[in-house]
Structure 1
Amino acid sequence: MSSTVVPLVIAFLGIVGTLVSGLMTQRLAERVKSKELDHSERQRADERQYGAKRAMAEALRACYVILNTASLDYHSELNHFWHALGAGHVTDDLRSRLDDARREHRARYSEAQMQVPDDVLATIDRVHRGLNRMYGVLKRLDGGILPHGEDESLKQVHTQIVGFWDQLGEMRQIMRKSIGVSPEMP
C-alpha cells in the first residue's frame, strides 16, 4: 500500500466509525425510549385497571351500606307497626311510614340485584322475602283479613320480627366478607 492510501483508509474508517457510532447511539436511544414508553403504557394500564377495580369496590360498598340501612329501617318500621297494631293505635302516619320503608327497601334491593355477587344475593333475597312476609301479615291483620295460617298471628309476627335480627346480622356479615372487611366466617 502506498503512503497516500493508508491515511485515506484510516480517514475513511474514522468517518465510517463516527457515522456508525452515531447510528448505534441513535438506535440504542430509540430502544431505551421504546422500553420507557412500553413501561409507561403498562403502568397507565395497571393504574386504569386498579382505578376501575377500586371504583367497582366502592360502588359495591355503597350499595351494601344503603341496602343495610334500608333493611334496618324496614325492620324497625315493621316493629313499630306491630307495637301499634297490638295496642290498637295504628295511624295513617304509621301506615305511610311502613309503606315508605318498604318502597325504599325494594328500590335498594333492586339495585343490589344488579351489582352484588350471587352468593351475597342469595342472602339478601332471603332477607327481602322475610321482611315482605312480615309486612304482608301485618297489613292483613291491620285490614281485618283472616290469617292464612297459625304463623300469621300478632304473637307469631313478633317472634319473627325479634328473630329476624339474626338474618340481618348474617346479611351484614356476608356483605362485609364480600368487600374484604370481615374475615371468613366459621
Structure 2
Amino acid sequence: MEIGAMVVAVVGVAGTLGASLLTQRGAERTKRREIELVRAHEDVRENLVLRRTCYAALNRDSRQYTTALNRHLHVMREREVEEADREALDAAKSAHRDTYSEAQMIAPDDVLGPATTVNHALTLVYGQVKRLERGAPEEGETMAAVSQAQQEIWDLLREMRAAMRADLGVSSAD
C-alpha cells in the first residue's frame, strides 16, 4: 500500500506541476499572439499614415508644379522671363520630383500608375516650355499647343487623386 500511495502522490504532484506548466505555456502563447496582433495592427496603421502623408505631398506638389507651368507660360506671353521666374518653376519641379520619388517607394501599383502618368505629362510640358523659352521649339510646339497640354494635366491630376483616395479608403475608385 505504501508504494501505491507513493505512486498516487507522485502522480498527483506531477499532475499539479504539469498542469501549472501547461497553463503557463498556454498563457505565454496567448500573450505572444496578442503582441503579434497588436504589432500587425500598428504596422497597418503606420503604413496608412505613411501613404496618406506621401499622397498629400504628391497631390500638393503636382498641383503646384502644374500651376507653376501655367504661370510660366503666362509670363512668357506677357514679358521677358526673368531669373526669379525660372527659379520658381524649377523649385516647383524639384518639389514634385522629390515627392514623386517617395511615392515610387511607397505607393501600390494602382496609385503609382496614375502618378507616373502625371509625372510624364509634367516632364513633357516642362521640356516644351523650356524649348519655347529658349526660342527653339520642336515641330508643333506652339504656345497654344503647350498651354493645351498643360491644361490637360488637371484631368490626370484628378485621376491620380481618385486613385490615392481609393487606396486610403476615403472614397471608391469610381
User: What is the TM-score when the length of structure 1 is the normalising length?
Assistant: 0.84
Report 1:63-82 matches (<5 A): 63-82=54-73
In the alignment, structure 1 segments of 5+ residues that lack a partner are 1-8
Tell me, in whole angstroms, the C-alpha distance in 2 between the residues paired with 1:52 and 1:24.
41
Tell me, in whole angstroms, the C-alpha distance in 2 between the residues paired with 1:112 and 1:56.
13
- The residue aligned with 2:76 is 85
Tell me, in whole angstroms, the C-alpha distance in 2 between the residues paired with 1:127 and 1:77.
15
What letter corresponds to residue 156 of structure 1 in structure 2? A
Cα deviation digits, residues 111-131 of structure 1 (max 9, x gap) = 221222223222111100111
1:144 is aligned to 2:135: yes
Report 1:1-186 matches (<5 A): 9=1, 16-145=7-136, 147-150=137-140, 152-185=141-174
What letter corresponds to residue 155 of structure 1 in structure 2? A
Note closer, same or farther for the CA distance 1:172–1:184 as it changes in structure 2 (3 Å cut): closer
Tell me, in whole angstroms, the C-alpha distance in 2 between the residues paired with 1:22 and 1:100.
77
Tell me, in whole angstroms, the C-alpha distance in 2 between the residues paired with 1:12 and 1:98.
96
Alpha carbon RMSD of aligned pairs, Å? 1.8
What letter corresponds to residue 99 of structure 1 in structure 2? D
Query: Could you say which structure has the larger radius of gyration?
Result: 1
Tell me, in whole angstroms, the C-alpha distance in 1 between the residues paired with 2:152 and 2:132.
20
Q: Please say which of residues 175-184 and 63-72 is displaced more in the overlay.
A: 175-184
Cα deviation digits, residues 53-107 of structure 1 (max 9, x gap) = 2222222222111111110110111111111111124221111000111111112
Q: Please say which of residues 36-45 and 15-24 is displaced more in the overlay.
A: 15-24
In the alignment, structure 2 segments of 5+ residues that lack a partner are none
Cα deviation digits, residues 1-55 of structure 1 (max 9, x gap) = xxxxxxxx3x765565444333212211211111110011111112222222222
Aligned length: 174
Partner-residue secondary structure (3-state), 2:107 = coil
Tell me, in whole angstroms, the C-alpha distance in 2 between the residues paired with 1:149 and 1:51.
54
Contact 2:165–2:173 (CA under 8 A) maintained in structure 1 = no
Contact 2:65–2:92 (CA under 8 A) maintained in structure 1 = yes
Tell me, in whole angstroms, the C-alpha distance in 1 between the residues paired with 2:105 and 2:32.
32
